[in-house]
Amino acid sequence: MSAAPKALVLTGYGLNCDYETVHALSTCGFAPRRVHINELIQGAADLFDFHLLVFGGGFAWADDHGAGVLLAHRIRVNLEARIKEFVASGRLVLGICNGFQALVNLGILPALDPEWRREVALLANDCGNFRDQWVTLAFNPTSASIWTRGIKTLDLPIRHGEGKLYARPEILERLEKDNLVAARYADREGRPAQGRFPDNPNGSLNDIAALTDPSGLVLGLMPHPECFAHLTNHPHWTALADAKKRKGEGLDWRGGGLKLFRNARTYLDGGAG
């Protein structure tokens, strides 16, 4: 793709991470645009003018009736068919935090059947409160996700009160069998958190922090990659920089969260592999 791919960053009632997401996308060579959900519903903006759709973080409709529930309902009633066509055409969808919650409520994740039945839930954190912390993710190298290719571990921030991934045992088994788990919570060495708090900050079953659909084009994750766009966003950036200096290695000031957006750009540029 010669021109910068266009990214639609959804905005609306209570969504509040749109500017950070626009910045991360711009840094990775996208041409992002903030689009209010009503613009899509009313036809003032055409979804198919874009190559990437981002459901970002926040508290859509104040998370009334549950995190992401009303946003998912509004999408299902007005835009579900268009989004199915969007993904079928090879375009990309990313759901971050509240966006992930909306995608599982909508059923686009994990998309175990064409009807998009809801098979997964993101419930209130086991710790009983909102968590604002950094976590370590370990990525699944056999996942089909184009977003996570080549990433082994990554530190990212979380900011949520309803992030515990829950599913029935047979659904969990299928998520594992079909490699739909894209990333898990881990300790600082990248070993599975095994449910331990605070490495697993919310009690997610099987330490699941991110899911992909079978196509690999749709990704949802609770941590915020757009909030690690520069090395200095990391709480231990000075120690990380010093360690690089002592080893005589060059310092990359780009934040690790940009790796996901760069993978999306590579895919859209025809480097899907």
Active centre residues (catalytic): 97, 224, 226
| 231 contacts 224 by C-beta, under 8 angstroms | no
Both tokens assigned to 57:
């973080």
DSSP for 21-78, written as a single string = HHHHHHHTT-EEEEEEHHHHHHTSS-GGG-SEEEE-SB-GGGGTTSTTHHHHHHHHHH
Please list, in sequence order, all residues whose beta carbon lies within 8 angstroms of the beta carbon of residue 80, skipping any fewer than 6 positions away.
106, 116
CA pair distance 173, 34, nearest whole angstrom: 37
Q: Which residues of 8-39 are buried (b: 16+ CB within 10 A; e: fewer)?
A: bbbbbeebebbebbbebbebbebebbbbbbeb
> By C-alpha distance, which of 111, 23, 1 is closest to 9?
23
> By C-alpha distance, which of 26, 120, 121, 37 is closest to 83?
37
Instruction: Output the CA torsion sign for 218, 224, 226, 228.
Output: negative
Instruction: Output the CA torsion sign for 132, 134, 140, 146.
Output: positive
CA pair distance 195, 213, nearest whole angstrom: 24
